[in-house]
Protein backbone atom coordinates (compact mmCIF):
# COMPACT_ATOMS: atom_id res chain seq x y z
CA UNK A 1 0.00 0.00 0.00
CA UNK A 2 1.36 3.42 -0.90
CA UNK A 3 2.33 5.64 2.00
CA UNK A 4 1.38 9.29 2.33
CA UNK A 5 4.01 12.03 2.19
CA UNK A 6 3.42 12.64 5.89
CA UNK A 7 4.14 9.04 6.87
CA UNK A 8 7.19 9.05 4.62
CA UNK A 9 8.43 12.22 6.30
CA UNK A 10 7.84 10.67 9.71
CA UNK A 11 9.77 7.56 8.79
CA UNK A 12 12.62 9.71 7.51
CA UNK A 13 12.66 11.67 10.78
CA UNK A 14 12.93 8.44 12.75
CA UNK A 15 15.65 7.04 10.49
CA UNK A 16 17.72 10.23 10.69
CA UNK A 17 17.45 10.39 14.48
CA UNK A 18 18.34 6.70 14.80
CA UNK A 19 21.27 6.85 12.38
CA UNK A 20 22.71 9.97 13.99
CA UNK A 21 22.31 8.34 17.39
CA UNK A 22 24.15 5.24 16.22
CA UNK A 23 27.01 7.36 14.90
CA UNK A 24 27.21 9.26 18.18
CA UNK A 25 27.33 6.15 20.34
CA UNK A 26 30.01 4.61 18.17
CA UNK A 27 32.00 7.85 18.33
CA UNK A 28 31.51 8.05 22.10
CA UNK A 29 33.18 4.66 22.55
CA UNK A 30 35.95 5.13 19.99
CA UNK A 31 38.42 7.11 22.05
CA UNK A 32 38.04 10.92 21.69
CA UNK A 33 38.74 12.87 24.86
CA UNK A 34 35.85 14.46 26.70
CA UNK A 35 37.01 17.86 25.48
CA UNK A 36 36.93 16.71 21.84
CA UNK A 37 33.81 14.58 21.97
CA UNK A 38 31.08 17.21 22.13
CA UNK A 39 32.29 19.29 19.20
CA UNK A 40 33.13 16.24 17.13
CA UNK A 41 29.75 14.64 17.77
CA UNK A 42 27.88 17.84 16.92
CA UNK A 43 29.71 18.19 13.61
CA UNK A 44 29.48 14.60 12.48
CA UNK A 45 25.84 14.10 13.42
CA UNK A 46 24.92 17.39 11.77
CA UNK A 47 26.73 16.40 8.57
CA UNK A 48 25.01 13.02 8.49
CA UNK A 49 21.55 14.55 8.86
CA UNK A 50 22.12 17.40 6.41
CA UNK A 51 23.59 15.12 3.76
CA UNK A 52 20.61 12.77 4.00
CA UNK A 53 18.12 15.64 3.81
CA UNK A 54 19.92 17.13 0.82
CA UNK A 55 19.67 13.78 -0.94
CA UNK A 56 16.12 12.84 0.05
CA UNK A 57 14.39 16.23 0.48
CA UNK A 58 16.44 18.58 -1.72
CA UNK A 59 13.73 21.22 -1.91
CA UNK A 60 13.27 21.58 1.84
CA UNK A 61 14.89 24.16 4.11
CA UNK A 62 16.75 23.33 7.31
CA UNK A 63 17.22 25.07 10.63
CA UNK A 64 19.97 23.37 12.63
CA UNK A 65 21.77 24.37 15.78
CA UNK A 66 25.08 23.50 14.15
CA UNK A 67 24.62 25.38 10.84
CA UNK A 68 24.41 29.03 9.91
CA UNK A 69 20.78 30.11 9.78
CA UNK A 70 19.46 31.07 6.35
CA UNK A 71 16.70 33.64 7.01
CA UNK A 72 14.97 32.70 3.74
CA UNK A 73 13.64 29.63 5.56
CA UNK A 74 10.86 31.76 7.07
CA UNK A 75 9.27 31.89 3.61
CA UNK A 76 9.70 28.17 2.94
CA UNK A 77 6.80 25.73 3.04
CA UNK A 78 8.80 22.90 4.62
CA UNK A 79 11.56 23.35 7.20
CA UNK A 80 13.41 20.59 9.04
CA UNK A 81 14.40 21.68 12.56
CA UNK A 82 17.42 19.78 13.82
CA UNK A 83 19.46 19.44 17.00
CA UNK A 84 22.21 16.91 16.19
CA UNK A 85 23.23 16.50 19.86
CA UNK A 86 20.82 17.85 22.45
CA UNK A 87 22.72 17.78 25.71
CA UNK A 88 26.31 18.04 24.49
CA UNK A 89 27.57 18.19 28.07
CA UNK A 90 25.84 14.95 29.07
CA UNK A 91 26.95 13.29 25.84
CA UNK A 92 30.55 14.22 26.51
CA UNK A 93 30.53 12.74 30.02
CA UNK A 94 30.44 9.25 28.51
CA UNK A 95 28.19 7.46 31.02
CA UNK A 96 25.01 9.54 30.95
CA UNK A 97 21.83 8.47 29.10
CA UNK A 98 20.09 11.87 29.26
CA UNK A 99 21.05 13.31 25.86
CA UNK A 100 19.20 13.10 22.57
CA UNK A 101 19.00 13.73 18.83
CA UNK A 102 16.11 15.87 17.54
CA UNK A 103 14.61 15.79 14.05
CA UNK A 104 11.35 17.59 13.25
CA UNK A 105 9.54 18.89 10.18
CA UNK A 106 7.50 22.09 10.17
CA UNK A 107 5.06 22.65 7.33
CA UNK A 108 3.21 25.77 6.22
CA UNK A 109 -0.55 25.76 5.83
CA UNK A 110 -2.76 28.16 3.89
CA UNK A 111 -4.07 29.24 7.29
CA UNK A 112 -1.04 30.49 9.25
CA UNK A 113 -2.63 29.31 12.47
CA UNK A 114 -2.53 25.76 11.11
CA UNK A 115 1.15 25.76 10.14
CA UNK A 116 2.67 23.16 12.42
CA UNK A 117 5.08 20.35 13.13
CA UNK A 118 4.05 17.38 11.00
CA UNK A 119 6.85 14.91 11.73
CA UNK A 120 9.07 14.49 14.76
CA UNK A 121 11.50 12.03 16.29
CA UNK A 122 13.61 12.11 19.44
CA UNK A 123 16.40 9.55 19.65
CA UNK A 124 17.73 8.46 23.04
CA UNK A 125 20.85 6.77 21.66
CA UNK A 126 22.26 5.62 25.00
CA UNK A 127 19.02 3.69 25.62
CA UNK A 128 18.73 2.42 22.06
CA UNK A 129 15.28 3.84 21.31
CA UNK A 130 13.71 6.54 19.15
CA UNK A 131 10.39 8.12 20.08
CA UNK A 132 8.16 9.02 17.15
CA UNK A 133 4.73 10.61 16.94
CA UNK A 134 2.76 7.35 17.25
CA UNK A 135 2.07 6.43 20.85
CA UNK A 136 2.02 2.72 20.09
CA UNK A 137 5.45 2.68 18.50
CA UNK A 138 8.91 2.96 20.00
CA UNK A 139 11.44 2.32 17.29
CA UNK A 140 14.37 0.13 18.29
CA UNK A 141 17.71 1.62 17.27
CA UNK A 142 20.52 -0.92 17.70
CA UNK A 143 23.54 1.15 18.61
CA UNK A 144 26.00 -1.34 20.06
CA UNK A 145 27.78 -0.66 23.33
CA UNK A 146 26.22 2.56 24.59
CA UNK A 147 28.05 2.61 27.90
CA UNK A 148 24.72 2.54 29.75
CA UNK A 149 23.47 -0.65 31.35
CA UNK A 150 19.83 -0.68 30.23
CA UNK A 151 17.17 0.96 32.37
CA UNK A 152 15.56 4.31 31.70
CA UNK A 153 16.28 7.98 32.06
CA UNK A 154 15.21 7.99 35.71
CA UNK A 155 15.21 5.38 38.49
CA UNK A 156 11.93 3.53 39.04
CA UNK A 157 9.31 5.42 41.03
CA UNK A 158 9.18 4.82 44.77
CA UNK A 159 5.74 6.39 45.27
CA UNK A 160 2.82 8.06 43.57
CA UNK A 161 3.92 11.70 43.78
CA UNK A 162 4.28 13.40 40.39
CA UNK A 163 7.79 13.97 39.14
CA UNK A 164 8.68 17.34 37.62
CA UNK A 165 11.89 17.29 35.61
CA UNK A 166 13.94 20.44 35.22
CA UNK A 167 17.44 21.70 34.61
CA UNK A 168 19.96 21.03 37.35
CA UNK A 169 21.93 24.17 36.46
CA UNK A 170 19.11 26.57 35.49
CA UNK A 171 15.99 25.68 37.50
CA UNK A 172 13.15 28.16 36.88
CA UNK A 173 12.18 30.53 39.67
CA UNK A 174 8.69 29.06 39.76
CA UNK A 175 9.84 25.46 40.24
CA UNK A 176 8.95 25.19 43.94
CA UNK A 177 5.52 26.74 43.32
CA UNK A 178 4.78 24.16 40.63
CA UNK A 179 5.91 21.32 42.88
CA UNK A 180 3.61 22.52 45.67
CA UNK A 181 0.68 22.98 43.30
CA UNK A 182 0.77 19.40 42.04
CA UNK A 183 2.13 17.76 45.20
CA UNK A 184 5.19 16.64 43.29
CA UNK A 185 8.94 16.30 43.48
CA UNK A 186 11.53 18.21 41.47
CA UNK A 187 13.97 15.94 39.63
CA UNK A 188 17.02 17.29 37.74
CA UNK A 189 17.74 15.72 34.35
CA UNK A 190 19.95 16.48 31.36
CA UNK A 191 18.89 17.61 27.91
CA UNK A 192 15.53 19.05 26.89
CA UNK A 193 14.87 16.03 24.68
CA UNK A 194 15.60 13.66 27.55
CA UNK A 195 13.27 15.59 29.87
CA UNK A 196 10.38 15.51 27.40
CA UNK A 197 11.10 11.86 26.68
CA UNK A 198 10.86 11.11 30.41
CA UNK A 199 7.36 12.61 30.42
CA UNK A 200 6.30 10.82 27.24
CA UNK A 201 7.63 7.50 28.54
CA UNK A 202 5.85 7.86 31.87
CA UNK A 203 9.00 8.24 33.96
CA UNK A 204 8.02 11.83 34.83
CA UNK A 205 4.81 13.86 34.73
CA UNK A 206 5.89 17.37 33.77
CA UNK A 207 8.86 19.31 32.44
CA UNK A 208 9.27 23.01 33.18
CA UNK A 209 11.92 25.33 31.75
CA UNK A 210 12.55 29.06 31.65
CA UNK A 211 16.30 29.41 31.35
CA UNK A 212 16.62 30.02 27.63
CA UNK A 213 16.23 27.68 24.67
CA UNK A 214 16.00 27.84 20.90
CA UNK A 215 13.61 26.38 18.37
CA UNK A 216 15.77 23.30 17.82
CA UNK A 217 15.75 22.50 21.55
CA UNK A 218 12.00 21.92 21.68
CA UNK A 219 10.65 21.34 18.15
CA UNK A 220 11.07 17.56 17.93
CA UNK A 221 10.28 16.89 21.62
CA UNK A 222 7.18 19.09 21.45
CA UNK A 223 6.09 17.45 18.21
CA UNK A 224 6.31 14.00 19.79
CA UNK A 225 4.57 15.10 22.99
CA UNK A 226 1.70 16.88 21.23
CA UNK A 227 1.08 13.97 18.89
CA UNK A 228 0.83 11.63 21.88
CA UNK A 229 -1.73 13.76 23.73
CA UNK A 230 0.51 15.68 26.12
CA UNK A 231 0.40 19.44 26.62
CA UNK A 232 3.34 21.41 25.19
CA UNK A 233 3.31 25.22 25.30
CA UNK A 234 5.00 28.37 26.60
CA UNK A 235 5.01 29.11 30.32
CA UNK A 236 2.40 31.84 29.79
CA UNK A 237 0.06 29.33 28.13
CA UNK A 238 0.65 30.58 24.58
CA UNK A 239 1.42 28.10 21.79
CA UNK A 240 4.93 27.23 20.69
CA UNK A 241 5.76 28.84 17.33
CA UNK A 242 8.34 27.45 14.92
CA UNK A 243 10.02 28.69 11.75
CA UNK A 244 9.78 32.29 12.87
CA UNK A 245 12.71 34.63 12.25
CA UNK A 246 13.97 34.78 15.84
CA UNK A 247 15.27 31.32 16.73
CA UNK A 248 15.11 32.10 20.47
CA UNK A 249 12.27 30.23 22.18
CA UNK A 250 13.21 30.54 25.84
CA UNK A 251 10.65 28.62 27.86
CA UNK A 252 8.62 25.44 27.76
CA UNK A 253 6.08 23.37 29.66
CA UNK A 254 5.38 19.75 28.71
CA UNK A 255 3.08 17.78 30.96
CA UNK A 256 0.19 15.39 31.32
CA UNK A 257 -3.03 17.09 30.26
CA UNK A 258 -4.59 16.69 33.70
CA UNK A 259 -1.76 18.68 35.31
CA UNK A 260 -1.67 21.57 32.84
CA UNK A 261 -4.07 23.95 34.61
CA UNK A 262 -2.35 23.57 37.98
CA UNK A 263 1.14 23.94 36.48
CA UNK A 264 0.25 27.08 34.52
CA UNK A 265 -1.62 28.63 37.46
CA UNK A 266 1.38 28.06 39.72
CA UNK A 267 3.72 29.66 37.19
CA UNK A 268 1.41 32.67 36.80
CA UNK A 269 1.26 33.15 40.58
CA UNK A 270 5.01 33.75 40.96
Q: What is the pLDDT along the chain (270 residues), one digit of tens a residue?
A: 344 455 599 999 999 999 999 999 999 888 777 778 888 999 999 999 999 999 999 999 999 999 999 999 999 999 999 999 999 999 988 789 999 999 999 999 987 777 899 999 999 999 999 999 986 545 554 444 444 445 799 999 988 999 999 999 899 999 999 999 999 999 999 999 999 999 999 999 999 999 899 999 999 999 999 999 999 999 999 999 999 999 999 999 999 999 999 999 999 999
Within a domain: 206: yes
Task: Count other C-beta atoms under 10 Å from residue 102's C-beta.
Answer: 34
Q: What is the pTM of this model?
A: 0.92
Domain membership of residue 171 as a residue range: 163-269
CATH number at residue 251: 3.40.190.80
Number of compact structural domains in the chain:
2
Q: Are residues 57 and 133 in the same domain?
A: yes
Considering the domain architecture, whether residues 111 and 191 belong to the same structural domain is answered as no
Cα gap 106→93, rounded to integer Å: 32
Q: Is 54 exposed, middle or buried (0-12, 13-18, 19+ CB in 10 A)?
A: exposed
Residues 168 and 89 in one domain: no
Whether 157 is covered by a domain: the verdict is no
Both 91 and 201 in one domain: the answer is: no
Are 132 and 219 contained in the same domain?
Answer: no
Q: Is residue 152 part of a domain?
A: no
Amino acid sequence: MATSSRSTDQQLAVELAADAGRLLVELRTSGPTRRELGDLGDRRANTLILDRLAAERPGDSVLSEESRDDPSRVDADRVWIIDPVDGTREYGLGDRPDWAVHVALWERSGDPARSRLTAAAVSLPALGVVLGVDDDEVYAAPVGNSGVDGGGLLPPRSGSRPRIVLSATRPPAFAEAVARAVGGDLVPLGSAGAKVAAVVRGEADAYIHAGGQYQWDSAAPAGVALARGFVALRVDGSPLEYNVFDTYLPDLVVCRADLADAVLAAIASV
